[in-house]
Amino acid sequence: MARPPFCVLTIAGSDSGAGAGIQADARTVQALGGYAVAAITAVTAQDTKGIHGWDAVRPGLVGAQIAAVMADFPVGAAKTGLLPGPAAVRAVAAQLGRKPGLPLVVDPVLGSTSGTPFLSASGLRALRRELLPLATVVTPNWPEAGALAGKGIRSHAGAEDAARRLSAEFGCAVLVKGGHATGDSCRDCLATPDGRVDWFSSARVRTRNTHGTGCVLSAAIAAGLARGFRLADAVEQARDFLRRALVAGRGVVWGGGAGPAFPG
């Protein structure tokens, strides 16, 4: 019998426009040769212009989804995205805590780019207390890293400082993404618990189709870890995949707002 492809569990919200969340994660994993299983944490009504409404999935059902697929599929890595509140965070952490050693990518989605908040202050505390200690790598952008570190980030030096401090605090790697910086290059900082810091840099892709970039990147990192890549190599291949996706899709017009980062 043939072996199945590598398998990644994505724990995130559903995007009706399919640019981010579960849909973007699954599309990314599939494009990289894997198979995505899912636990849906929220259902959103959104398009390229923003989120028009959303509802959280009951935390018990989120946990049940994770338990079901983890018991029956050869999950090689997991990633989290939108977690709508402290109860959801605890439900996810309780299930993932039963799989010590499973590579886990935490994309700390605090809110949408268009301004819809998802994770409250109590949810952020639960994320720090319950989930980040289980992570292999956390992938915040500048605002998210600032919220986690308790100090705003306004420079690459500040990004490195936050990455170092968060990595030391939680005992995991931290990739602070530099998309919020200005300039012609995009620089991401990876800090690991052993004190190592690596910078990844590439030319910035000028495109309006940027919806879901964080989801695509974190899903691609999870795919690399599921394939057995070292973390730095998983980050490198994920950044390359995202850049190629942005380049491939920059001439496409999707709706009236920010189109999806097209992974293809």
Q: Is 214 a catalytic residue?
A: yes
Query: 10 Å Cβ neighbour count for 121?
Result: 9
Given the residues 85, 192, 213, 249, select the one marked as catalytic.
213
How far is residue 70's CA from residue 204's CA, in Å, rounded to a whole number? 37
For tokens 């426009």, name the residue. 17
Q: What is the DSSP letter of 132?
A: G
Q: Is 215 a catalytic residue?
A: yes
Q: Is 212 a catalytic residue?
A: yes
Q: Is 177 a catalytic residue?
A: yes
Given the residues 212, 224, 249, 259, select the one marked as catalytic.
212
Given the residues 210, 224, 249, 259, select the one marked as catalytic.
210
Domains and CATH numbers, the chain: 7-138+208-249 (3.40.1190.20)
Given the residues 34, 146, 214, 224, select the one marked as catalytic.
214
Which uninterrupted H or E stretch holds 120?
none
What are the DSSP E strand ranges found in 17-176?
A: 35-47, 50-56, 75-82, 104-109, 137-138, 173-176
Q: Is 151 a catalytic residue?
A: no
Given the residues 172, 186, 189, 215, select the one marked as catalytic.
215
Which pLDDT value is given to residue 218? 98
Positions in the chain short of pLDDT 70:
263-264
Which pLDDT value is given to residue 263? 65
* pLDDT 10s digits, 137-173: 999 999 999 999 999 999 999 999 999 999 999 999 9
Which pLDDT value is given to residue 33? 97
Mean pLDDT taken over the chain: 94
Q: What is the DSSP letter of 172?
A: S
